[in-house]
Copies of this chain bind each other. A is one copy, B any other.
């Protein structure tokens, strides 16, 4: 009687868990990302030619074994869907053929499915009443299961099992290899005949497949794409184009093969060819805009909107740099996309995918994207991911590959333990409108290297690798102690750009100085000195990429210079808007004129007019105006330090893993509401503030704080600005 009762209870539990559990396609961690990334990186074209990356492309493991330990209270039938050729073993016994269904008896069992697939990623989808393929399954690329002459299996296996990985392929018919971005039809806003063809304007920067409706006749069709009108009309210089032959006796719709970035297309056909109109299929990764920002300044609001649109256009299979020319995944660009994403979509899976793709596989043969700095940003991005999302699992899975990546870096240090560009290393730093020395020890690279070593120590600790933690701590401490002796210049009151053969150069650039502030590597006195002598000093070479403006403005925000930053945002991003930008650019120098704005890489339209790194206002406004950031992983503890930055009011939401923090601030009131975690709202007030609930603590002269619980209850604070 008692036993029956327990059984019934267990069945009830099992039925209830059925609803929560769901099968999904699973694969070896990182493999789908590498495979999908190869496809995506190979979609780049340059004037009709295929244009793949110049770095090593890795491959998925072509032979993978999936396994799961089962404990069934009653027999259960499972169905098995597989991408690849496969076999199934139940309790070590190979079953006949490639079974699609299978009844597993009551009791404890081992289920193993081994899959070979060269062309696409080995993946399985298993579904029963209680058995589901999900991240609880184990995977390996080498099961090392030999037998001796008696048939006895090896008992000394050293196989490395990983947790299976998945995305959102939750139906057996939804094959991972068939993944496509979402598309929807969209129309042009105007179509203007030219001497030879027709110029079609889609009203703003967009991305997708051009569709020629009712295409008819016999002859050639040329489509010249442009992010600007000038580019589309420059048939000899536009960066992307399509050419094809048509032979349609009857009119029919035609959609071009490859998706592309454009606002304008200039379509020129042979005389015998005609079409009714040109439209498009807009292609995107569906995203929810969980973050928001509004303020009293309409120009800032417009900047936030265009930045969000720029982010959405560049958030695709992965976070890519730009949508026209590049269409590749770059680590330095990606870390900024991740940070903006945490304040806009909070799409963690796309961050994880991009981190995995960038790392690729061992052996490491070059820096990530061949760029030294980009390797360092990659390390930093892994910890950021953990801090924002609280997903420790990615770090655990990735840690061995973090270690081998760092081995590569450590194998390329000089006798002082510093990195210098060696043959084959691209020392990038930034695109600059002036000379920047890339030789010897760059202060900027050492600071990123030092932060990477600190990150390794933290991640080693998180994953329980005590020896590694000690090793990286030691390396980081040693390098950190060398930074000021090597690069600080008292006369210049800042870090010099580099040291060559032990001698400080004369040049001071902004890069190392910005990061010195951001990473808290400088004391307060030196931070203030740097602010004056470098950051706000117009004689230091200006930054003309939104990429490095990201860190420049962030370092100003970190020094409480939001009011200054508001002006900079309006000047710089507002400047692009005034030039008609509908998405933000790869590079913008306010001093350029006319079509000079489109030039880059020695090509008249080489510059990308939709570049992810152009979206930094999203990050700055979320983190330093709404003032919300995680203090502990996944926002279990957060900080809210709002700042008006000279605006009359600001309002918005910063997304967190399962909720969000909403902030409103004007010159008298702050309203805050948090959906999870807890943390302090900290602010300044010239008189004692009043809060609708909770206890206001005084911290210093005019600084106060109040604890905000993640219970979705709004707390209103009246304060004096």
Contacts and interface: CB of A to CB of B under 8 A. Distances in A.
Interface of A: 35, 38-39, 42, 46-57, 59-63, 85-88, 94-98, 114, 116, 118-120, 141-152, 154, 156-159, 243, 362-363, 365-366, 370-371, 421-426, 431-432, 587, 600-603, 606
Nearest to A118: B119
Contact of A601 (B119, B151, B365, B371): B151
16 contacts: A38-B63, A42-B85, A46-B94, A50-B86, A52-B116, A59-B62, A118-B118, A118-B120, A142-B366, A142-B370, A146-B426, A149-B431, A149-B587, A150-B602, A156-B423, A157-B423
A431 B120 CA distance: 38
A50, A157, A159 — most chain B CB neighbours (10 Å): A50
B149 A54 contact: no
A531 to B, nearest CB: 28
A49, A97, A151, A157 — most chain B CB neighbours (10 Å): A49
Contacts of A426: 144, 146, 154
Contact of A119 (B63, B119, B148, B423): B119
A613 to B, nearest CB: 14
Contacts of A59: 59-62, 118
Rank and list the top 7 A-B pairs by shortest CB-CB distance, nearest first. A158-B424, A151-B602, A119-B119, A59-B59, A57-B63, A158-B423, A56-B142
A592 to B, nearest CB: 13
Contacts of A606: 151
Contacts of A365: 142
Copies, count: 2
A422 B606 CA distance: 56
B363 A159 contact: no
A471 to B, nearest CB: 18
A59 B56 CA distance: 13
B363 A363 contact: yes
Given A50-B87, A151-B603, A362-B362, 9 more contacts: A48-B97, A49-B98, A55-B142, A57-B116, A118-B120, A144-B366, A146-B370, A149-B587, A157-B424
Given A59-B59, A85-B50, A147-B601, A116 B362 contact: no
B49 A95 contact: yes
Contacts of A602: 150-152
Contacts of A154: 426
B116 A54 contact: no
A344 to B, nearest CB: 28
A50 B112 CA distance: 13
B116 A156 contact: no
A62 B360 CA distance: 13
Contacts of A46: 94
A243 B97 CA distance: 9
Contacts of A62: 38, 57, 59
A426 B155 CA distance: 10
Contact of A97 (B49, B54, B147, B425): B49
Contacts of A63: 38, 42, 52-53, 56-57
Contacts of A142: 54-56, 365-366, 370
Contacts of A85: 42, 50
A132 B42 CA distance: 27
A476 B148 CA distance: 31
A57 B48 contact: no
A53, A371, A422, A432 — most chain B CB neighbours (10 Å): A53
A317 to B, nearest CB: 15
A681 to B, nearest CB: 44
Contacts of A156: 421, 423-425
B96 A149 contact: no
A296 to B, nearest CB: 38
Contacts of A53: 63
A61, A147, A424 — most chain B CB neighbours (10 Å): A424
A56 B141 contact: yes
Given A63-B38, A118-B119, A144 B95 contact: no
Nearest to A142: B56
Contacts of A47: 94, 96
Given A62-B57, A94-B46, A422 B158 contact: yes
A144 B87 contact: no
A156 B367 CA distance: 14
Nearest to A64: B57
Nearest to A364: B363
Contacts of A141: 56-57
A62 B363 CA distance: 15
A57 B142 CA distance: 8
A600 B149 contact: yes
Contacts of A370: 142, 144, 146
A423 B154 CA distance: 10
Nearest to A545: B149
Contacts of A363: 362-363
A433 to B, nearest CB: 8
A57, A366, A425 — most chain B CB neighbours (10 Å): A57
A156 B425 CA distance: 7
A38 B116 contact: yes
A56 B52 contact: no
Contacts of A118: 35, 38-39, 59, 118-120
B601 A149 contact: yes
A97 B47 CA distance: 8
A42 B84 CA distance: 12
A159 B424 contact: yes
Contacts of A150: 601-602
A689 to B, nearest CB: 50
B143 A54 contact: yes
Contacts of A54: 142-146
A483 B600 CA distance: 67
Contacts of A601: 147, 149-151
Contacts of A88: 49
